[in-house]
Structure 1
Amino acid sequence: MRRHLPVLLLAGLLLGAGPAAVSAVAAPQPALKIPGPLDGPLPLFTGAAATPQPLKGPWRPVNPALAADGRSGTGLAAGNGAASPLPGPLGIGTKRSSAFLGGSCTSLAFDKRDRLLALCSVPTGPVLRILDPAGLATIAALTLPARPSADRADQGGGTHLLVRADGTVLVPTNGGDLLHLAVDAGGFRKLGAVGLGTVLGRGERPFAVGAGYDGYDWVAGAQGTVITVPRGGGAPRALRLREPVAEDIATDPTGTYVVTRDALYRLLAAADGTPRIVWRHPLVTGVSDPQAGRVHTGPGTPPAMVAGGFVAVADGAQPPHVIVVRTGGRESRRLACSVPVFGAGAGSVEAPLVVAGRSLVVANAYGYNGLASTELGRTTTGGLARIVVGKHGCRTAWRSALISPSAAGVVSRANGLLYTVLKPRSAPDAWNLAALDWRTGALRFTALAGEGLGFNSDGGPVVLGPDGAAYAGSFGGLSRLKDSG
């Protein structure tokens, strides 16, 4: 799960009032920079320019219901497991800029005009924005229903979005609806909303949304209700798993995949559209550890589809394991591998797995217990690892001691670089965009995003834009890093 709700005590240091509940603004609002009070003495760049080495895949089938890979959203339900076909910066005169947006930006995507779509949580609730991708000015802002709880572990609407193939946007909201929006030149236009209150549990709100290959949009509620919504119109149908859901869902030609506190599920729609269970694979729930960097018990990642007929998730064990399961086959042969990552008593996984072809990268979140964990020179335990999935098991291709406390990374299929955000143990508190060689784990370069609280990833994603820039969501808003060469 992404940490989508700011800690209000610390938020007072940075945040102002949220935008009005409008779908457009009179004129683009110029971006205010995220404050970086001590970034002056910090190095702007380390390392050397990287040489592109494209990845060959294999890649999962393109989802016909979604916008193109890399543009449709940051959830694993949207595209190829955070493997973007777009190029990112190579470290050639890399320049930085930022936009102070009043809260953590947890979902990023692009519209048909190559503008950035950002779903951010401010103290008053979620706000969906259209941003100019170059200057980060706000073109339009739509305030969504507020979250009723101040608990940062609260699971509810307003943290996920999907961009469909026709350019429209789906957002599950705290109001209990699946909101359908058009993205026009000047702002958002409401096309409709499917009320889910009649099929959700008492007090339950929709959390995650995925576009199935089967003609249905799939929604998961925080209490474990899984819902199908026919794209052509019709009543939603539901199945209650009765196990809490705190992660995104994933879709594939073989079905829809949901991870609960206790298990990984493969689901299909029955003839009348009702979700049905194909199989259930139990997972280790784990025990509560105040230093683990987790905001809920159970698995720490959404299900991630791996080429070759596999689905992967990181469990809540200590040490955590990457569990890789075959999507088909007999129950006795379904588990492909279980690979321990990081050290016992010093490892946990919270950021989504980054998948490219038949391998995946996992990041250690141990020690990230909120914004204060990385202030005043402090940081987390750290660690990254790449796991390769083979026909007869899995192996660890490389390990890295680099520290990425809370960012959701992305890999470029065009240049073979893995992008994430690092926070070293030193003061001032530098947050750096980092580019690693996907194949070897070698660090190619870092570029300073900024210093201090506002640049804390706090669960925010890194995405690559059509213009070659990398965008990183953070507690204060959004950073942009782009080559000038």
Structure 2
Amino acid sequence: MVRFWAVMAATVLGLGMLGGGVVAAAPAETPGLGPTGTSLMHGDLGSTDSTPFPGPGRSARLVASSVPGGACAATFVGRDGMPISLCTQFVGTSPPTVAVATVTLFDPVTAAPLARRQLTKGGLLGGVYGYLDGRDRVVVADGSGAILRVGHRKTRAGWQVYVDDRIDISRHIPAGDSVTGLAPDHDGRIWFATTHGVVGTVSPNGMSTNGSGTDRVRVRSMHLPRGENLGNGLSVRASGASILTTHALYEMRVRADGTPLVVWRRAYERGRARMPGQLTWGSGTTPTYFGPGGDGWVAIVDNAVRPQLIVYDSDTGDTVCRMPAFDRSGQGTENSPMAWGDSLVIPSTYGYQYPPMAVDGPSVPATAPFVGGSTRIDVSAQGCRRVWENRDRIATLPRLSRADGLIHALGYGPYVPGSIQQAGPIYYVATDFATGKRVRTLEVGHGPVDEPLELTGTIARDGTMWQATVGRMLKIGR
């Protein structure tokens, strides 16, 4: 999960030029969703982990930083330019507790936290997957079985983060379950998916309790086969959604009343156990829509001993191509493939060391070195073809810029046998999408205080990359 910039000229694959100091034009937006490129954890509804804005790149420098008191898994930037994050606060106060989800607002100049709202504690991912709506409100699920719309405003007493609306979906979530994935669709619905396989939608006019009472809410849901859990987000296209469980990939639509309907299901090789460097047993990838028409194909990486990239036709479920996801890199990933046109870039997370409380069950083997590596694979109707593979040891969810042709992330230096992952310098790295070559390496911190923890950043319209580590919020500019 995690990802984010400055401006420079680029002409990769027919890109136009962007002069120094030029602010990128705002692209077309999706109704009901916040600004394109800065409102979703995976960049867009298709989960391409790409952005229309250029990042810091060759001129990158650390502009500001702060200590927010928690690890911020995803950061959004609204039309007002205010960065706002979904964070796991180390110590909460309302009520006193540990490891609680919060929505935190940051100063766009100094990166200092301005205000926060503590959410009801729930599942780990309940406070991670969310999005920014058209009114700059964070839409997120909390542990009470509700979807919240969390706004922010400046008052005489200072900035305030507050719950503007609450949609109760608790009767659709069994005891002990919690929302894992949350995303809007092109018709204004909110899709949600839970850890234990409930998939549901909230009608476009779905509202709940406010100051004057309770409005009618239309929530519809269905349950995937028992034993199939979800540890990743969901991806959305105009005609439906793609959802990946620990056993299979599903393409889904909605019935007339909003109830999710399975169009096709494809089981994949889930391996013998959770691999080191993954959070759950099964594929670690959020499905990625890409290819013809922007969503004609959907890609995942399975959990085989030698993981396979599998690309399906989104409409039929037919296999377009499959091949080993990695050659020399670590054999596994927890990150969604980045996509641009007919190309995918897949970072390896095999061997990455997550905190023990974040993972689900033992891994086989118990540990492995984090050698890293990323690879680009191009897809056509004739099959898959590896274009390059590098040694980048990426430790965040990277962001691929379609404006500057670079991949932006935080990571470590070259792998040294016997080295400790959490110790040593932490770097901002920019890699050329066309060649896989590193074009910028900037030290921005030092582990373990600045362990990137596979967190997600974002690149704002002005080219600023907002990226959290376990201990700080970093503002990287040019």
The superposition leaves residues 44-63 of structure 1 with CA deviations (integer Å, 9 ceiling, x where unpaired) of xxxxx964235658xx9953
Q: Aligned partners of 2:246 and 2:60: how far apart in 1?
A: 45
Identify the match of residue 196 of structure 1 among 159, 169, 172: 169
Shift in Å, 1:155: 4.5
Deviation sequence 1:100-148 (CA, Å, 0-9, x none): 122221111112211111111123201111111221011221111123x
Query: Is 1:280 aligned with 2:259?
Result: no
Matched, 1:63 2:52: no
Q: Per the alignment, do residues 198 and 157 of structure 1 end up closer, same or farther by CA in structure 2, a change over 3 Å counting?
A: same
Matched, 1:459 2:434: no
Q: Given the superposition, is the C-alpha separation of residues 53 and 95 from structure 1 closer, same or farther in structure 2, using an over 3 Å criterion?
A: farther
Aligned residue among 108, 112, 128 for 2:103: 128
Paired with 2:378 and 2:32, the residues of 1 have a C-alpha distance of 29
> SS where residue 157 of structure 1 aligns?
helix
Distance 1:76 1:465, change over 3 A: closer
- Deviation string 1:338-361 (CA, Å, 9 cap, x unpaired) is 121235994110122211222111
Which digits, 9 at most, give the CA deviation of each residue in 1:166-202, with x for residues without a partner? Answer: 3232101122111112333433332221111111123
Query: How far off is 1:466 after superposition?
Result: 2.2
C-alpha contact (below 8 Å) 2:146/2:167 kept by paired residues: yes
- Give structure 2 stretches of 5+ with no counterpart: 16-26, 91-97, 207-216, 357-367
How many residues of Structure 1 are paired with residues of Structure 2 in the alignment? 419
Q: 1:177, 1:206 within 8 Å by CA — same for their partners in 2? A: no
Inter-partner Cα distance in structure 1 for 2:456 and 2:463:
16
Matched, 1:422 2:442: no
User: Residue 127 of structure 2: which of 131, 145, 158 is its match?
Assistant: 158
2:250 corresponds, among 262, 265, 270, to 265
Name the aligned partner's letter for residue 340 of structure 1.
P
Of 333, 337, 341, 1:349 maps to 333
**Candidates 389, 398, 419, aligned match of 2:388:** 398
Deviating 4+ runs (over 6 angstroms) = none
Q: Partner residue of 1:26?
A: none
Secondary structure in 1 matching 2:11: coil
Residue 443 of structure 1 and its aligned partner are, at CA, apart by 0.7
Deviation at 1:415, TM superposition (A): 0.8
- Aligned to 2:449, the other structure's residue is in SS state helix
What is the alpha-carbon distance in structure 2 between the residues aligned to residue 184 and residue 383 of structure 1? 42
Farther off after superposition, 350-359 or 260-269: 350-359
Across the aligned residues of Structure 1 and Structure 2, the Cα RMSD in angstroms comes to: 2.5
* Aligned twin of 2:363: none
Cα distance in 2 for partners of 1:156, 1:203 equals 14
1:218-265 Cα deviation digits (max 9, x unpaired) = 001110100100121232110101320110001001211110011111
Inter-partner Cα distance in structure 2 for 1:345 and 1:418? 17
Residues 198 and 240 of structure 1, relative CA distance in 2, 3 Å threshold: same
- Whether the aligned pair in 2 keeps the contact of 1:111 and 1:183 (CA below 8 Å) is no
Contact 1:80–1:356 (Cα < 8 Å) also in 2: no
Aligned to 1:41: none
Tell me if the contact between 1:77 and 1:211 (Cα under 8 Å) persists in the aligned partners. no
Q: Conserved in 1, the CA contact under 8 Å of 2:103 and 2:161?
A: no
**Aligned partners of 1:64, 1:212: CA distance in 2, in Å?**
9
Q: Counterpart amino acid of 1:143?
A: Q
Q: Which amino acid aligns with 1:438?
A: F
Moved more, 212-221 or 280-289: 280-289
**Distance in 2 separating the partners of 1:351 and 1:410:** 11
Counterparts of residues 36-435 of structure 1 (less than 5 Å): 51-53=9-11, 63-75=30-42, 78=45, 81-92=48-59, 94-123=61-90, 124=98, 125-147=100-122, 155-185=124-154, 186-233=159-206, 234-241=217-224, 242=226, 243-288=228-273, 292-308=276-292, 309-329=296-316, 331=317, 334-342=318-326, 346-370=330-354, 380-404=370-394, 406-424=395-413, 425=415, 429-435=424-430
Q: What TM-score does the superposition give when structure 2 sets the normalisation length?
A: 0.82
Q: Distance in 1 between matches of 2:54 and 2:43?
A: 19
Distance verdict in 2 for CA 1:131–1:56, change over 3 Å: farther
Per the alignment, in what secondary structure is the counterpart of residue 91 of structure 1?
helix
CA shift digits 1:284-335 (9 cap, x unpaired): 1112256x21121011110111131011111111211121111113x5xx11
Taking the aligned partners of 1:434 and 1:216, their CA distance within structure 2 comes to 37
Judge conservation of contact 2:330–2:373 (CA < 8 Å) in 1. no
Shift of residue 209, structure 1, vs aligned partner: 0.5
Alpha-carbon spacing, 1:434–1:265, altered in 2? closer, same or farther (3 Å): same
TM-score when normalising by structure 1: 0.81
Deviations 1:19-65 (A, max 9, x none): xxxxxxxxxxxxxxxxxxxxxxxxxxxxxx964235658xx995333
**1:189 partner SS:** strand
Counterpart residue type for residue 275 of structure 1 = P
Aligned partners of 1:61 and 1:288: how far apart in 2? 43
Structure 1 residues not aligned, in runs of 5+: 4-48, 148-153, 373-377
Closer, same or farther: CA 93–462 of 1 in aligned 2, 3 Å: closer
